[in-house]
Structure 1
Amino acid sequence: MRIATYNVEWFNNLFDSTDRLLADDGWSGRQDVTRAGQIEALGIVFTAMDADAIMIIEAPDQNGRRDAVAALEDFARAFDLRTRRAVMGFMNDTQQEIALLYDPDRLSALHDPRGAETGKKGAGDAPRFDGVFRIDLDIDATEDLVRFSKPPLELQVTTAQGTKLRMIGAHLKSKAPHGARTRDQVMRLSIANRRKQLAQAIWLRARIEAHLAQGEPLILLGDLNDGPGLDEYEDLFGRSSVEIVMGDEGDMGLLDPHARMALKRRLGPVPTSARFFLPKQGRYLQALLDYVMISPDLRARNPRWRIWHPFDDHDCWKVPELREALLTASDHFPVVLDIDI
């Protein structure tokens, strides 16, 4: 079975108010890319992946007027994709939902959140992801209240072979220091925002450990927006959110070989899954932000990971149409797991 995660930049901009694809010459939101151009590129990438399930990060908006599931299923119909069914969990206010697009002939997927519901006061024992988490962020004997801006998507998945497993789609993000005017203000806001992101990682890790303690196979996938060496404040906190979510190697640790490789190498080449243009510097920054992590029991299912990077992956590079489509479709590239489930 092939399972992937893919952060699609500005996916929401590709649909009209009735959740139908808007393939015209208007700008998509991507630099110098029209809506029609991005839609065509995404069709090429999704068709080439031929995955059984794709966790879409930054999926189309869900609110009282927009329907993310309808939009994704319209996209699937347009390109005759096997992954023609979509499911999402708790909506958010960012116009960047988390949703799974999947082939219903290969698996079933149900939104199945765990944890207690909370009011405004929150709870300190890994509550439901749309709730409030109480944690002392700055060791001042006062608990802070933490919320997910994008609540992770929790799914109960059953494959056609009868394998049952848990799947969590996540998009952790540390906000930029908006409103800061001085260097000290930028520093204070940046540290506070990173502290909140690490708190979200701790919350997510608590849920992971609960699943592992119950012997439930687990796949966690998505954009963690963090990794070794990406943040100037990393040394201040000791660990990145990626390290927190993965845990230590062993019976309670998750495995993603790209992440493990990056964590062990402070110098030298590391895998990357995203590419951003820095206009002031006139160059591109590459980073490892996207992950597919599996529980220890799934390591015996012959897992094989691949980042569909247009320059680093030979099979992507040698097909010009696919290479260009990957560059046009998003600033992230798919991370794909093939596994015998």
Structure 2
Amino acid sequence: MAAPLRIATYNVEWFNSLFDDRGRLLPDNELSGRFEVTRRNQIESLGIVFSALDADAIMVIEAPNQGSRRSTVKALETFARTFELKASRVAMGFANPTEQEIALLYNPDRIEARHDPQESAKAPRFDEVFRFDIDVDAAPEAIRFSKPPLELAVRADGHALRLIGVHVKSKAPRNSRTPAETVRIAIENRRQQLAECVWLRRRVAAHLAHGQSLIVMGDFNDGPGLDEYEQLFGHSGIEIVMGVDDEPKSRLHEPHARMALTQKVGISPSSARFWLAPQQQFFEALLDFIMVSPDLAARNPRWRIWHPLNDPNCLKIPELQEALLAASDHFPVTLDIEL
């Protein structure tokens, strides 16, 4: 019997800055985008983390840039070759202008993957325009993803899967100059974020209606109870994508999201750790998820957040713990499943 398939999602902060235009790593002592972390330190830390994950597929969020002078595929394949990862091939979809691509590193011995964008009348292709009324004025706005989700047709150990890699718009009101402007931008961003999640949900619902095995994974920049505007809009984006108000056969499953939904006080999982300068403190949030269709949930998969301060297996290995803290402001989430 084959070992369980391990699938991961990992947002790597400033991954693009670790490569030159020819896709070669830059292991020098220049500072990376990470605070007080050199490029050499971040590269070595990422090598430790990716090697420890030992995953058959990693949805890389904020992957190196794709453009006229740079190649996401070349950069990630160089990285995989440098650290001898079994996930050595790369699949990606629509490039975006933010220098933060979405790409899948995968193990070609167990997985076949190809970009396979879908479209329908209710949910166009993710590089196109979605018309949706986000401000309740009966006039639909034209919504565009700044980072179009990556849609993949996959065969894993002979099992057909649909994978969707996601990096939903941040709600943070950046570049605001006054309190009133902060509120206005925050609400605009929240509306855009929720519209992207509605668009994504419509694609999810179509796959589930056709009985397809589906995994939706990535950084949603959102979670139940994360901001004061959630009550204004009724649901978090995560709840919309999961379909919490739909019948069970139409819902996605994710135990960390379920914990956050049901545990209003007390313990709560987290997948990201940020330094907030005004408060001079680190704060944590649950932003990264791997959601699965009901048929995959029935296979009793095991989820894990590789949190360096909370996960006991990470705590036992100081080198891995330090690497996780230096590598990114997000931590990997994995799913182990037998297909």
TM-score tier after normalising by the smaller chain length: over 0.9
- What's the CA shift for 1:226? 0.3
**Corresponding position of 1:142:** 139
Question: Is 1:185 the counterpart of 2:181 in the alignment?
Answer: yes
TM-score scaled to structure 2, two decimals? Answer: 0.96
Q: Which position in structure 2 is the counterpart of 1:301?
A: 299
Deviation at 1:177? 3.2
Deviation at 1:321, TM superposition (A): 0.4
Quote the residue 2:122 is aligned against: 125
Native 8 Å contact 2:169 2:192 kept in 1: no
Map of 1:71-82 to 2, 5 A cutoff? 71-82=75-86
1:26 aligns with 2:23: no
2:151 maps to 1:154: yes
Matches within 5 A, 1:1-341: 1-115=5-119, 125-160=122-157, 162-248=158-244, 250-341=248-339
Deviation of 1:72 (Å): 0.1
CA distance in 2, matches of 1:175, 1:136: 18
User: What do residues 229-282 of structure 1 show as CA deviations (whole Å, max 9, x unaligned)?
Assistant: 211211110100000011126111000100000011111111110001112212
Would you say the 8 A contact 1:85–1:103 is kept in 2? yes
The alpha carbon displacement at 1:216 in A equals: 0.5
Equivalenced residues, count: 333
For residues 185 and 82 of structure 1, the distance between their equivalents in structure 2, rounded to whole angstroms, comes to 48
What is the CA-CA distance between 1:181 and the residue it aligns to? Answer: 2.6
C-alpha separation between the residues in 1 aligned to 2:330 and 2:170?
A: 17
CA distance in 1, matches of 2:133, 2:277: 38
Whole-angstrom distance in 1 between the partners of 2:122 and 2:315:
46
RMSD across aligned C-alpha pairs, in angstroms? 1.1
State the shift of 1:188 in Å.
1.5
**1: CA distance, partners of 2:307 / 2:71:** 30
- Structure 1 residue 179 displacement after superposition: 4.8
- Give the partner amino acid of 1:50: D
> 1:17 Cα shift?
1.2
More divergent stretch after superposition (188-197 vs 168-177): 168-177
Instruction: Supply the AA of the counterpart residue of 2:156.
Output: T
Query: Gapped runs of 5+ residues in structure 2?
Result: none
Q: Structure 2 CA distance, aligned partners of 1:209 and 1:163?
A: 20
After superposition, the C-alpha distances for 1:59-116 in whole angstroms (9 at most, x for unaligned) are 0000111100110000001011101101100000000000000110010100000005
The TM-score normalised by the length of structure 1 is 0.96
Q: Which amino acid letter does the alignment assign opposite residue 65 of structure 1?
A: R
Per-residue deviation, 1:329? 0.5
Contact kept? 1:4, 1:53, Cα under 8 Å: yes
Moved more, 142-151 or 167-176: 167-176
For residue 175 of structure 1, report the CA deviation from its aligned partner: 4.9
Q: Distance in 2 between matches of 1:5 and 1:156?
A: 17
**SS of residue matched to 1:323:** helix
Secondary structure, counterpart of 2:248 in structure 1: coil
Q: Are residues 216 and 262 of structure 1, via their aligned partners in 2, closer, same or farther at CA, if it must alter by over 3 Å? A: same
Following TM superposition, where does structure 1 have runs of at least 4 consecutive aligned residues deviating by more than 2 angstroms? 174-182
Equivalent residue of 1:16, what SS? coil
- Structure 1 gaps of 5+ residues are 117-123
For the 8 Å contact 2:60–2:103, the answer to whether it is kept is yes
